[in-house]
Amino acid sequence: MKNFVKFYPLGNADTTLIKLDNGQVVLFDYANKKDANDEKDKRCDLPVELNKDVKGDYDVVAFTHADKDHINKFSDYFYLEHAKKYQEGERRKINDLWVPAAIILETNLDNPEAEILRTEARYRLKNKKRIKVFSKPEKLKDWLKKEGVKYEEVSHLLVNAGTLVPGWNLKNNGIEFFVHSPFSEKIDDKEIERNEACLIMQAVFNNTHNSAMILGADADSVLWDDIVEITKYYKREERLAWDILHISHHCSYKALNKDERGKTKTSPIKNVKWLFETKGREKGTMISPSWEIPSNYGDIQPPHKEAANYYEDVKDLKDGEFKVTMEYPTKDEPKPIKISIDDDGITLEKINPSLLFLTNKPAPKAG
């Protein structure tokens, strides 16, 4: 079995599955958005799709932040440790839960799933196992003290930006994860803003190319600018290399240039341009986890055509691919996007739309 990554057609929502050839499974976000009562809803049935590839529990489930489009209905699918009502039926266990510190600390939550996730993360952290929390803000230390938890007893579960996630390495696992965000100051200095305090990583696979994937969550251009500046300062530019790019914030122009959208194409700020055009490798693949790219300019909600036009330029520059989850292989019948990773690098699995048509044709009647 080869390593592979899958991205799912969920509208403007995120779920990314990494399955390794040793059988280990890592999931970034879970957002089941399909309306079961709407026959015209083209979004996939997420638990059904995941269960095709994952037969047991998950080694890691990482939630990049607590927005609904990254956590929707997760409590229906996973076995949660903090309450028995989330332990019935054929639920999948999470062997290690990864969350940014913001999920532990947020107070003004805007949806029930966020409250459930916060409760689960707090329960695991207070029990000192099966969790990693990213960044070490003073607010987290204060919260631990208030809860009667000694910082020294959980410090091994806390991971800062600019480091590798402990317990995962190229030799033993075939993959490593480098943490780019969140930064402690994004949590300590002001009221928590999820997109600024989200979990962003680079995953590197153990092959002859050291194939790499950037998981961009919902970063805007200001956060990307900070990440690039800090990475350059510490001379870790290789940590921003990518063969696979999870495009941020559902192809919003704000991930490229928060202040200037452009009339027909967004021009990225300097560091974002460097990230995409210099650190993107030849024949790289960019994935927009989003609805179809609109035909018009100026839409309020992403995806934005202006941003997509820039990514198309990067695709041409790198002789690569730019794919949209709700358009692949067709807008009428979107399917999960699968990218294999082996010693030869990355390979986008091609789906022939005509075969989909043949598969979905009703069988001829007998007689």
The pLDDT of residue 366 is 37
Tell me the C-alpha distance between 220 and 203, whole Å: 20
Q: Average pLDDT in the 341-366 region?
A: 70
Tell me the C-alpha distance between 22 and 265, whole Å: 42
CATH topology of domain 3-360: Metallo-beta-lactamase; Chain A (3.60.15)
The pair of three-digit structure tokens given for residue 192, joined into one six-digit string: 């928590």
Quick: pLDDT tens for 79-116.
Answer: 999 999 999 999 999 999 999 999 999 988 889 999 99
Quick: pLDDT tens for 273-300.
Answer: 999 999 999 999 999 999 999 999 999 9
Beta-strand relationship, 3-7 and 337-342: antiparallel
Look-up: residue for tokens 């707090």? 122
Quick: pLDDT tens for 189-246.
Answer: 666 677 788 999 999 999 999 999 999 999 999 999 999 999 999 999 999 999 999 9
- The stretches of 127-249 forming alpha helices (DSSP H) are 138-146, 151-154, 170-173, 185-188, 221-233
Bridge partners (DSSP) listed for residue 172: none
3-state class of 83 per DSSP? coil
Q: How far is CA 69 from the centre of its chain?
A: 11
Tell me the C-alpha distance between 54 and 37, whole Å: 26
